[in-house]
């Protein structure tokens, strides 16, 4: 199945990004394809390269970068939501790109299922 995912909450504060990550990994293991993960609302904070959690904790941002590189997943951050929250190209983590909400709509149209992780 062709899947797309959207994440609407920031890392660490909320479980949305953790759950989405575990869901993506499980889906990929089952042989599904994840074309795009779209970050909206506070979800854009998952893309900040300035994120520096304590060393004994998971690094949510790097984890997304690695998953995207390993499985060719398009990580898209909404430009309007990102600018509101100080996420720009200068502090964008590897594997993410900033684009418009059209990318979310397109993912909804093209994927068999669009799965939302939010509050």
Give the active site residues: 78
Task: Give the residue, chosen from 3, 5, 6, 24, that forms a contact with another protein under the rule CB under 8 A.
Answer: 6
Cβ nearer to another protein, comparing 43 with 59: 43
Task: Give the residue, chosen from 1, 26, 41, 62, that forms a contact with another protein under the rule CB under 8 A.
Answer: 41
Tell me the closest approach of the beta carbon of residue 101 to another protein, in angstroms: 4
Which of 29, 96, 42, 91 has its CA nearest to residue 68? Answer: 96
Question: Is residue 82 near another protein by the rule CB under 8 A?
Answer: no
3-state secondary structure of 117: strand
Report how many residues bind another protein under the rule CB under 8 A. 19
Query: What strand order describes the sheet that includes 96-99?
Result: 96-99, 74-78, 33-39, 2-7, 113-117
């Amino acid at each position: 199945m062709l899947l797309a995912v959207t994440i609407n909450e920031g890392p660490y504060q909320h479980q949305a990004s953790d759950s989405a990550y575990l869901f993506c990994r499980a889906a990929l293991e089952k042989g599904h394809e994840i074309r795009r993960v779209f970050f909206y609302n506070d979800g854009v904070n998952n893309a900040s390269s300035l994120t520096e959690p304590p060393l004994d904790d998971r690094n949510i941002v790097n984890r997304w970068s690695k998953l995207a590189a390993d499985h060719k997943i398009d990580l898209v951050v909404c430009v309007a939501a990102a600018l509101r929250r100080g996420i720009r190209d200068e502090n964008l983590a590897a594997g993410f790109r900033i684009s418009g909400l059209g990318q979310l709509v397109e993912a909804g149209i093209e994927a068999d299922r669009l799965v939302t992780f939010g509050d």
